[in-house]
């Protein structure tokens, strides 16, 4: 959801775990009362968040590299 990707609620974080440990991580977080949302997978040369975006890492890196210089004029 857009909220999962762009929400600015306090104490939000991204956690990456290996696929074999995903279920255990989810169980521990839910048992602690921490809301969990799976938003995508890490691997390869693309950032793919199904239903939201699918971009090559090279494009994301290039955008990241030029953002601050462009903002500074």
Q: Which residues contact 17 (CB under 8 A, 6 or more apart)?
A: 25
In terms of pTM, does the model score above 0.85? no
* Mean predicted confidence (pLDDT) in 49-55: 83
Pairing of strands 53-56, 46-49: antiparallel
Query: In the structure, what pLDDT confidence band is assigned to residue 41 with cuts at 50, 70 and 90?
Result: confident
Question: Residue 47 pairs with which residues in a beta bridge?
Answer: 55
Spell out a b/e string for 47-63, using b for 16 or more CB atoms within 10 Å of the CB, else e.
beeeeeeeeeeeeeeee
């Amino acid at each position: 959801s857009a909220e999962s990707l762009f929400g600015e609620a306090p104490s939000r974080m991204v956690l990456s775990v290996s696929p074999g440990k995903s279920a255990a991580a989810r169980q521990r977080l839910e048992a602690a009362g921490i809301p969990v949302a799976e938003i995508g997978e890490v691997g390869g040369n693309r950032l793919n968040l199904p239903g939201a975006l699918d971009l090559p890492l090279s494009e994301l890196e290039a955008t990241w590299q030029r953002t601050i210089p462009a903002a500074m004029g």
